[in-house]
Structure 1
Amino acid sequence: MNPHIPVLKEEVLELFSSIPENGILIDCTLGFGGHTSALLQAHPTLQIIGIDQDRDAQEYCKQHIRSERLRILEGNFSDKIDEALQSSPIVGILADIGVSSFQLDTLERGFSFDSPVLDMRMNQECPISAEQVINTYSKLELEKIFRDYGEIREYKKMAALILQERQKQPFRSAAQLSAFLQKHFKRHHIHPATLAFQALRIEVNQELNVLQTLLQKICNASSKLQNTILSIISFHSLEDRIIKNTFKDWEKSCICPQSVMRCECGNHHSHGKILTKKPISATQAELSSNIRSRSAKLRAFQFGRQK
């Protein structure tokens, strides 16, 4: 049984249904191969380059996806995308940038509220963990990540209380931190630690930075991505906002400042077109079988000079 249920799988298959069969698709977040397996089955001659930094995921795919049409690159997608883009022809690029169910459910990884460790590293070779962030960051640094990455209204209070508590005893587990936040903060619809854990995870894994790097590197290669479809699945508003705004910028043909009365740039700067005017979300049927799909949003862009 696959330890991770891929979200929006049918929507991904539909989006890539018309891609050329003899091309190459880059799965930037291979994970446990849910999307890749489905795409390999749907397209009998499609080649896939899968990128992942999680060694557990890599080993699973090597054991369970025995296909000569899959090539695995080990590392973060923001680092490995350059190598993947050297292949040709690239007909599709997919990135599912959420935390896998396996990572969430494996207590030793430190993502869960009940975890006995405070880790949250997607790549366990990364130098900094959530434990280091919570116990060593200054008050101002904690305020910044809670405000910017968690969008927490009481970010100053949260940072101050954490500093007071860690002077008595350091935070050593996610369960300890979760119980502490639950004691001091009340939320009606979500667990009181949800947004703080999101902020810590983003900081530890530099998720927004790697997303922006990925988008920039793909844009830099846009001249060779004629008719290539890019599909990105995100799970929180900060990521979705970056993707939405980037796609809008890519679609613009005129890049003159708004203050300019008449176009002076040549009006030929569009990289392609947005395929999803609104993000695609999970159906009710998928929500019933996989509650973790509730926050998933898929946006897609197709490269190619617009006439």
Structure 2
Amino acid sequence: MIPHISVLKDEIVNLFDTKLVNTGGTIIDCTLGYGGHTLALLEKYKNIKIIAIDKDIEAINLATKRLEKYKDRLKIINNSFSSGLKEALQTSQDAVGILADIGVSSMQFDNLERGFSFLSNTLDMRMNLDSHFSASEVVNNYSTTELERIFRDFGEIREYKKLARLIVETRKKEKIQSSKILSELIAKNFKNAKLHPATLAFQAIRIEVNNELGELQEMLNICKDSNLQHGSRIGIISFHSLEDRMIKLEFKKWEQSCICPSSVMKCICGNSHKLGNNIYKKPITPNAEELSNNNRARSAKLRAFEFIRN
């Protein structure tokens, strides 16, 4: 098992190294996981408090033990990152930062009972174990059209129709019982020189099961509509192009002062809608040293935004 290593940890700590944070306030960690980012922030910034959110109770139990030393400066919410963020912002009037690392954690991936791995003997992929909707439901009960949709839209798989048909024809003979059986089926019928042939299919199924893109959009909407004070920052780490594209486009919209449609000849919106600025021109990615220590960080991208208030 690969030990859990927080991706872009130093970059996250440096992102929040501002006068606003150093004087105190609360940082909201929307994706607690094993607590690596939260721990690093609590160690670095002695005056802050953190509200941390996770819908995985197993992760919360482990992180609570790891962060015992800082329990007086830490509150943990068991919820999805969008609903948890809304709750955190309602209860905290001094938020100075928001963090989200929206990838699957190493703990989840390495626990074969969770079904995220190609070697798993289950077909689960739920991040929230209280949910009754799993990968088995998608793989064994979705129609051909529904499977085509998720493989096309969430996996960006070129041969999405062939893959959907393959799964439907296979399950007619026998229910697909595990991620291992599914990954072997895909690998036998598809080739990919750069990735395991099942990588994008698993990504698509996982996104569907956990409503990952819907959760991300809701979180972005909550951030946009919040009353975060001047100088507050948000940093989001994503791991695939769909998420990164969504974050990039949303941050770009937040920079715009005029939000009139392009068909309007003269501004009628008041030209006063700018929320702040992108902190990086391009996303921050792991350096060579981090990649040598953690190959799973290879697709990580950090985008960050600073809010301004007049």
- Matched to 2:51, the amino acid is I
Superposition deviation, residue 262 in structure 1? 2.3
Please show how residues 172-187 of structure 1 align to structure 2 within 5 Å: 172-187=177-192
Aligned-pair distance for 1:21?
A: 3.1
* Correspondence for 1:102: 107
Matched residue, 1:151: 156
- Output the amino acid matched with 1:146: F
Q: 1:48 aligns with which of 47, 50, 61?
A: 50
1:49-101 C-alpha deviation (Å, 9 max, x unpaired):
00001111111121121111011011111111111012021111000000000
Aligned position for 1:80 = 84
Q: Say what the alpha-carbon RMSD is for the aligned residues.
A: 1.3
In structure 1, what is the Cα distance between the partners aligned to 2:271 and 2:22?
30
Kindly report which structure 2 residues correspond to 1:149-228, keeping only aligned pairs within 5 A, or say none: 149-221=154-226, 223-228=227-232
- Aligned match of 1:58: 60
Q: Which moved more, 1:146-155 or 1:72-81?
A: 72-81
The Cα shift of 1:305 comes to 3.3
Letter matched to residue 36 of structure 2: G
| Structure 1: stretches of 5+ with no match in the other structure | none
Taking structure 2 as the reference length, the TM-score comes to 0.96
Q: Distance in 1 between matches of 2:148 and 2:115?
A: 22
User: What displacement does 1:226 show?
Assistant: 2.3
- The 5 A counterparts of 1:231-250 are 231-250=235-254
> Is the contact made by 1:251 and 1:273 (CA closer than 8 Å) also made in structure 2?
yes
Q: 2 CA distance for matches of 1:187 and 1:224?
A: 45
Q: Which secondary structure does the structure 2 equivalent of 1:31 belong to?
A: coil
**1:112 pairs with 109, 117, 120, which one?**
117
Instruction: Answer yes or no: is the 8 Å Cα contact 1:270–1:305 preserved in 2.
Output: no
3-state SS of 2:22 partner: coil
Equivalent-residue separation in structure 1 for 2:3 and 2:196 (angstroms): 24
CA contact under 8 A between 2:2 and 2:110: conserved in structure 1? no
Q: Give the match for residue 24 of structure 2.
A: 22
More divergent stretch after superposition (225-234 vs 101-110):
225-234
Partner Cα distance (2:159, 2:302) in 1? 30
SS at match of 1:13: helix
Unpaired runs of 5+ in structure 2? none
* CA distance in 1: counterparts of 2:199 and 2:288, whole angstroms: 23
Distance 2:32 2:46 in 1: 18
Moved more, 173-182 or 123-132: 123-132
Q: Distance in 1 between matches of 2:4 and 2:55?
A: 16
Task: Say which SS state the counterpart of residue 114 (structure 1) adopts.
Answer: coil
**Share of identical aligned residues, percent?**
55
Aligned with 1:271 (options 271, 275, 280): 275
> For 1:295, what is the secondary structure of its paired residue?
coil
Alpha-carbon distance between aligned partners in 1 of 2:172 and 2:108, rounded to the nearest angstrom:
30
Supply the distance in 1 between the matched residues of 2:305 and 2:256 (Cα, whole angstroms). Answer: 13
Q: Aligned-pair distance for 1:149?
A: 0.2
Q: Which moved more, 1:104-113 or 1:259-268?
A: 259-268
How far did residue 257 of structure 1 move? 1.3
Q: Structure 1's 140 and 254: CA in aligned 2 closer, same or farther, altered over 3 A?
A: same
1:292 equivalent in structure 2: 296
- 2:24 maps to a residue whose letter is N
SS at match of 2:223: helix
CA contact under 8 A between 1:181 and 1:193: conserved in structure 2?
yes
Stretches of 4+ moved more than 4 A in 1?
Answer: none
Q: Is the 8 A contact 2:97 2:232 kept in 1?
A: yes
Equivalenced residue count is 305
Q: 1:130 aligns with which of 127, 132, 135?
A: 135
CA distance in 1, matches of 2:64, 2:212: 26
